[in-house]
A and B are shown apart, each in its own frame.
Chain A
Amino acid sequence: MALTTTDARVPGGAPAAETGAPRPPRRQHPLLRYISLRFGISILLVWGVTVVTFVVTNLVPTDPVNAVLGEQAANNPEIVAALRTEMGLDEPLIVQYWLYLTRLLAFDMGVSAQTRSPVADDLARAFPATLELALFVLLFSTVIGVGLGMLAALRHQTAVDKTIRVLSLFGISLPVFWIAMLIYYVFFYQLHWAPGSGRLDSALVPPPLVTGMYTIDSLVAGQPDLFWNALSHLVLPAVVLTLFTIGTLVRFSRSAILDVVRHDYVQAARAKGLPHRIVVVRYILRGASLPILTMSGLTFGSLLSGAVLTESVFSWHGLGQYAYMAAISLDLQAIMGVGLLIGVVYIFTNFAVDLLCGLIDPRVRVQ
């Protein structure tokens, strides 16, 4: 982990503790400095992401004008020229980028060729669905994944460890779109154990919009039936995405915990005669908390990728299905929108994780 330790050791044997005198005023709290640094990096990355999407958009061999105009209009040079000017296509690239950036800042990501509505609106509708799925999966897979990883690490080199290891290797080898179809086929198509498509039974009306996440909105609206229905629709896609992420989580937390177990402070806790349970929960788990937290952040990003490859199977009207539809119909504006959104969400998730790490880690928090 890159969290640097603030070295507060005083050389020589002089007592390091301050003698109750008020601390000298500091220019900035270390946590604040840490947060602003992380935030600055995130902003820079977001800027980098816009450069990437801009460059990629300009790679397109087809003239963007043709994408906007119908065939007839495209054959009329005057209309084309007017549109080129309007779209800023005659300007130098740097100016075009500036225009692109200002449009983005106004949440203008163009119009989807497929849905014929602004990409930003489409994304705003689709994102909560994916977020709901991703948050559920994140919760489940972190709890199960860290649990199994810890079990494997504490039973290092035993049969338990080896079994968990093989299973987790199976997990990371799964093509997620394939396991999605298998699970859909077996548990919905054949067994009818859980609903297989959509976010609610088609006869039901979605709850009033608050967060866009049906499970939460239905509770807010006080409609328990709707909640259970939405939850049952979540089950299969959530199982698929859990299978998709859990292997990595298990492997990572196993190795993070193995790293911690080797530390003297764990031996020291044992030497104090603390019972195993306390050593594990208080010393080992806390020692591994930063890498595990970081890992969960990365998992969130990979969940968004997994969603792109699974939602269409379950007709889950989220970012994933939107991206899938956009991809198969080559709806470029929509694809760029999804890429941009996921990139930005991913960056800010990592920022949030860094922030949490800073709050948890006294080496960052106090000086």
Chain B
Amino acid sequence: MTGISIRNLRLELGGKKLLDGVTLDAAGGQITGLAGESGSGKTLTGMALLGLLPEGSQLSGQILYAGTDLVTKSQKQLNQYRGTEIALVFQDPAASMHPMISIGEQLTDHMRYHLKLSRKQALARAVQLLQRVKVPDPEQALTKYPHQFSGGQLQRIAIAGAIACEPKILIADEPTTALDVTVQAGIMHLLRELCDSLGLTIVLITHDLGVMSGLADNIAVMRNGRVIEFGSRFDVIRNPQQEYTRSLIESLPNFQKGD
């Protein structure tokens, strides 16, 4: 099981340091949580793993994956990693799916490109994937369009698309923030289950430490473009080293002092 390591990652845009030396290890086959207030650089870190950066920004540092440093790769070379080695699930499934392209096409176009499947094979695989993420009536779903699904269903479909080409790493950027509270747990359980059964390495980004504390194996806390605290879930929650982390934990709704 392959993990991914980030070493001293810096991202500058127009003189502003958006990422200021991020160092992080996402261990293979585990869920690594990335927490922090909004604007702290979580999304940028996730996107940097795929080499999808804001126009005109400079990236330095190292992203070590399967023995290579992704920072040194060209956009074209990175395309060989995107989807097949490292995949991404976006925050808002309604925004990350093209409103005018059918689910069937959006689920299969990268399979056909990367795995060289025929249309028919790809569709058959898409049906299996939808069953895997528990979307009811998969055949029917393939002919529909994003606006015909609820947010929760759509996020499941997006996850199916992300794992379609059997990536080793899955980055989930606040996958439940845009969803109804009632479906959030379902999505989180799905991620846990995929991690365990497929041996997937998951980087789970969220600003909600509460969600994370129940799910992640390791937790990193980001602030102002750096990782300020990193450790196992147990250590970080029970024994935070940083004042900032402590204040985050204390502000959780079910936190009890002296616990």
Contact = CB atoms under 8 A, between A and B. Distances in A.
A263 B150 CA distance: 20
Contacts of B149: 8-9, 16-17
Contact of B83 (A263, A265, A272): A272
Contacts of A283: 98, 101
Given A17-B140, A271-B83, A8 B88 contact: no
Interface of B: 47, 50, 52, 55-56, 79-84, 87-88, 90-92, 95-102, 109-110, 113-114, 135-137, 140-141, 144-145, 147-153, 158, 161, 165, 180, 182-183, 186
Interface string A349-365: 00000000000111100
B83 A273 contact: yes
A156 B55 contact: yes
Interface residues of A, number: 42
Given A13-B182, A20-B137, A264-B90, A272 B98 contact: no
A287 B96 CA distance: 12
A15 interface: yes
Nearest to B109: A274
Interface of A: 5-20, 156-157, 263-265, 267-275, 278, 282-283, 286-287, 289, 360-363, 366-367
B117 to A, nearest CB: 14
Given A265-B97, A271-B50, A17 B113 contact: no
Nearest to B179: A13
Given A264-B90, A264-B95, A267-B47, 10 more contacts: A9-B147, A12-B183, A16-B149, A19-B137, A265-B98, A267-B90, A272-B109, A273-B80, A273-B110, A363-B145
Contacts of B152: 13
B109 to A, nearest CB: 6
Nearest to B164: A272
A362 B99 contact: yes
B113 A273 contact: yes
Contact of B140 (A14, A18, A361): A18
B148 A366 contact: yes
21 contacts: A5-B147, A8-B147, A9-B147, A10-B150, A12-B180, A15-B135, A263-B95, A264-B95, A265-B98, A267-B96, A269-B98, A270-B50, A271-B52, A272-B82, A272-B83, A272-B161, A273-B114, A283-B98, A287-B98, A362-B147, A366-B144
Nearest to A269: B98
Q: Which of B56, B81, B147, B180 has the most CB of A within 10 A?
A: B147
Contacts of A156: 55
Contacts of B98: 265, 269, 283, 286-287
Contact of A9 (B79, B90, B150): B150
B96 A265 contact: yes
B52 to A, nearest CB: 6
Contact of A13 (B110, B144, B183): B183
A279 to B, nearest CB: 10
A274 B101 contact: no
A5 B94 CA distance: 12
A283 B145 CA distance: 14
A277 to B, nearest CB: 11
Nearest to B171: A271
Contacts of B52: 267, 270-271
A205 to B, nearest CB: 49
Contacts of B99: 5, 265, 287, 362-363
